[in-house]
Structure 1
Amino acid sequence: MIPERSQRENLLERAAGLLEALGFSVARQLTPSCFDLLARDGDTIFLLKILSNVDSLTEEQSIDLRRVSNVIGATPMLIGESARGETMMEHTVYERYNIACVSFKTFENALSEHNFPFVYSKKGGFYSHLNTDYLRKLMQKNNISAGALAREAGISKSSLLNYERGQGASIENIERLQEALGDLVLDPIDVFRFEEESPELSSGGSRIERIVESHFGDIGFRTAAVTKASFSLIGRSKKDIIFTGLESKSLEKRAEDIRVSSKVLGQHGMFVLKKTEERQVSGVPVLGEQEFQETVTSKQLLKLLRELEEVD
């Protein structure tokens, strides 16, 4: 049996390779994070978590993944191999904490061929959405009422009416309807527009997080606090994004993650530390707490970051 870690690393390499082959710029994370790959091609941005078993995603990771995605305008997704103890089916969408989970093949088909899945998994089985226009036309063509069709298919009339309103139908009931009415058309699921609600952006918990977050707000940035990433805060003001690290632990690895992530987006990263003699680490500017608080506008902060990015 292949160790789960090796399976995950292989899956990560395949996902990164696919994205790069399709022209995406890809940032891989060195430190444990709520996401493993950040990929961008023009206005299309993906934030991907790669897991051999998608059930191992924690709620905390999912919240962070969705928060970061919300701020940078990315699509959050999980790519995995197994769910609920079974191999993930191809052409099928799974879901964890309101995030789409798919197999590598399903992701590849959707991304490279725009071949989207028709089936989604939830507790109780597998479901699809019937194309309601086609269903109604077929019922009219066969001159059959909802009640008569439901009786012939062996399902409740209320279920059939719900399907006509767009509710998902179990695969078993779809098969029963097809036996009674003929082949039906299913609506594809756009896995890149899966998320239905935005997470709360949250506030930082530590003293320095509160200070930095407060000053970000003063100069026009909205922020999101993150616990499972190389950065602790991410700030956005209009089109400008700043990945902000607040910890000196494993500074070089964190800096590399922030550098490549900000580079892929054409944005900025920085560290704000209580005390520091460094001006930059791996190309990422390092500001002292007081220095950061002395910036009075977003333009001044961005100008300072650009200057420090050029320091050798």
Structure 2
Amino acid sequence: MKVDNSMINRETILHEINNLLINFGFKTSNIYERSCFDILARKKDILIILKILVNIDSLTTQQAEELSKISGTFLASPIIIGLKSKHSYLEDDVVYERHEIPAVSPQTLYDIIANDMHPEILSKRGGFYVKINGGLLKQLREEKNLSLKELADLTHVSRETIYKYEQQNSQAYPETALLLEEILNKPITLSINILESEHNHILDTKIQEPIELIKLGYEVNSSTKTPFDAVSTRTDDSKEVLKLKEQLSEKIDEIEKIKEKLAKKTVNNEILITNLERNRNISTLSKIAEKTNDISSITGHKALFVLKHEHEQNSIKNIPVIYTWELDNMEKNKDLEKLIKERENEGE
């Protein structure tokens, strides 16, 4: 696929991206144009949240914050797809950033999804940069019996710069990286996999409703720019996670093993996509249910309604309805899990 930049109709781009993902094995959500994201897509363990824009500079700070937090909560990778910035069209095979979220052109996304070709160039203030594989650089330099200064002289940079490259504390201009590769006769740059973004921000706006759910050990975090009201998370192992994080910072040599343990603990947290009554009638709740069902199917997380008033129904569009008085009578979260399962079975 070769994307024509004259095609600046956002709706067309949305559907082209959606078709691209489906054609290459992704399960995609509906399109949510008035949300902080437009499309959710999953393929095996990859979950991405996309925001489609013509001009990537039109992303607001509030949208970016909410997109970042939703991605962190769902362990997903947020990606902005756009055609241009306020200064120029986006170049292909280059990763831009807006509010610390990666932004790429539709063609770049196509190359990643269809051809497994990940970009190596990062656009930042001051120009284009690449990431150097510091360990490999040091190994190749030592194999050629070159000192830091000798390699620095050959590439017209300082000794300190080469040292920073080897410690992976600095990014290089593409021209410098190319010169290093010519001298060492081997590729030394790292690709940028935007499908594996390490986004750590999570929803942090705690709300005090429904109190009955909170009493069962769930933390309810509001989401204002999404098709659902909140995300409820049960994290019984929070102390263990904090301990792992401390070990992670203290024991650099064990960082990969600890990351794996931390990831497993995080994945095991139970997330409930939560919708509240908030004086809405059944017709409105049904419309919300349609969107929530879609998002639940993509993320793999269960959804529920927590309602205060009796509506004589145990589910809305197959999403379990739990009443606050029922939550109030529960002593542990296992009781909630059991009731959700019963309501799911009734809905089927």
Instruction: Report the CA distance shift for 1:151/1:15 in structure 2 as closer, same or farther (over 3 A).
Output: same
2:94 corresponds to which of 78, 92, 115: 92
Which AA in structure 1 matches 2:197? Answer: F
Mapped to 2, the partners of 1:194 and 1:42 lie a distance apart of 16
1:172 Cα deviation after fit: 4.0
Could you tell me which amino acid in structure 1 is paired with residue 194 of structure 2? V
Which one of 247, 252, 273 corresponds to residue 243 of structure 1?
Answer: 273
Instruction: Map 1:281-300 onto structure 2 (within 5 A).
Output: 281-300=316-335
1:28 Cα deviation from its structure 2 partner: 1.6
What's the CA shift for 1:144? 4.1
Query: Could you say what secondary structure the match of 2:303 adopts?
Result: strand
Q: CA deviation at 1:165?
A: 1.5
Change (3 A) 1:141 1:307: closer
Instruction: Specify whether residues 132 and 201 from structure 1 end up closer, same or farther in structure 2 by C-alpha distance, changes over 3 A only.
Output: same
Q: Who is 2:243 aligned against?
A: none
Aligned to 2:194: 191
Alignment of 1:154-173 (within 5 A): 154-166=156-168, 167-173=170-176
Aligned to 1:36: 38
- CA contact 1:79–1:101 (8 Å) conserved in 2: yes
Q: Is the 8 A contact 1:135 1:184 kept in 2?
A: no
Secondary structure, counterpart of 2:96 in structure 1: strand
Counterpart-to-counterpart distance in 2, 1:147 and 1:188: 27
Question: For 1:10 and 1:48, how far apart are their aligned partners in 2?
Answer: 15
Cα pair distance change 1:23/1:119, threshold 3 Å? same
Structure richer in strand, relative to its length = 1
Q: Deviations over 1:41-63 (max 9, x none)?
A: 33322222222222222232233
Find the partner of 1:234 among 231, 234, 237.
Answer: 231
The one-character-per-residue Cα deviations of 1:198-244 (angstroms, maximum 9, x if unpaired) are 1253133xxxx4122x5434323344321111212112344643211
Moved beyond 6 Å, runs of 4+? 179-183
Unmatched segments (≥5 aa) in structure 1: none
**Aligned-residue offset at 1:87:** 1.8
Q: Residue 294 of structure 2 corresponds to which residue in structure 1?
A: 260
- Cα distance, 1:258 vs structure 2: 0.4
Pairing 1:143-162 to 2, within 5 Å after superposition: 143-162=145-164
Gaps of 5+ in 2: 235-267
Cα distance in 2, alignment partners of residues 282 and 272 from structure 1: 14
Query: What SS is found at the alignment partner of 1:263?
Result: helix
Which TM-score applies when normalising by structure 2? Answer: 0.74
TM-score, length basis structure 1: 0.81
Q: How does 1:47-58 map to 2 (within 5 A)?
A: 47-58=49-60
Structure 2 equivalent of residue 301 of structure 1 = 336
Q: CA, structure 1 residues 171+287, in 2 after alignment: closer, same or farther (shift >3 Å)? A: same
CA distance in 2 between counterparts of 1:168 and 1:216 reads 47
Matched, 1:218 2:215: yes
Q: Is the 8 A contact 2:73 2:201 kept in 1?
A: no
Question: What does residue range 50-199 of structure 1 map to in structure 2 within 5 Å?
Answer: 50-136=52-138, 138-140=140-142, 143-166=145-168, 167-175=170-178, 177=180, 184-195=187-198, 198-199=200-201
1:168 and 1:291 map into 2 onto residues whose CA distance is 56
Q: Which residue of 1 aligns with 2:264?
A: none
Q: How far off its partner does 1:123 sit? A: 1.4
Q: CA deviation at 1:296?
A: 3.7
- 1:92–1:102: 8 Å Cα contact kept in structure 2? yes
2:246 corresponds in structure 1 to none
Deviations 1:108-147 (A, max 9, x none): 3223332211111111111102233453455456554332
Q: Which string of whole-angstrom CA distances, capped at 9 and with x for unpartnered residues, describes residues 75-122 of structure 1?
A: 222222223432222222122233222222222322333221111111
The farther-off stretch of 292-301 and 51-60 is 292-301
> Is the CA contact 2:73–2:202 (under 8 Å) kept in the aligned structure 1?
no
Alpha-carbon contact 2:46-2:195 (below 8 Å) kept: no
Paired residue secondary structure (2:201): coil
Higher deviation after alignment, 171-180 or 29-38: 171-180
* Cα 1:35–1:292 shift into 2, 3 Å: farther
Contact 2:32–2:39 (8 Å) recurs in 1: no
Structure 2 partner of 1:272: 306
Cα separation, 2, equivalents of 1:21 and 1:294: 48
Confirm or deny: 8 A CA contact 1:119 1:128 kept in the other structure: yes
Contact between 1:35 and 1:48, CA under 8 Å: does it hold in 2? yes
C-alpha separation between the residues in 1 aligned to 2:272 and 2:84?
35
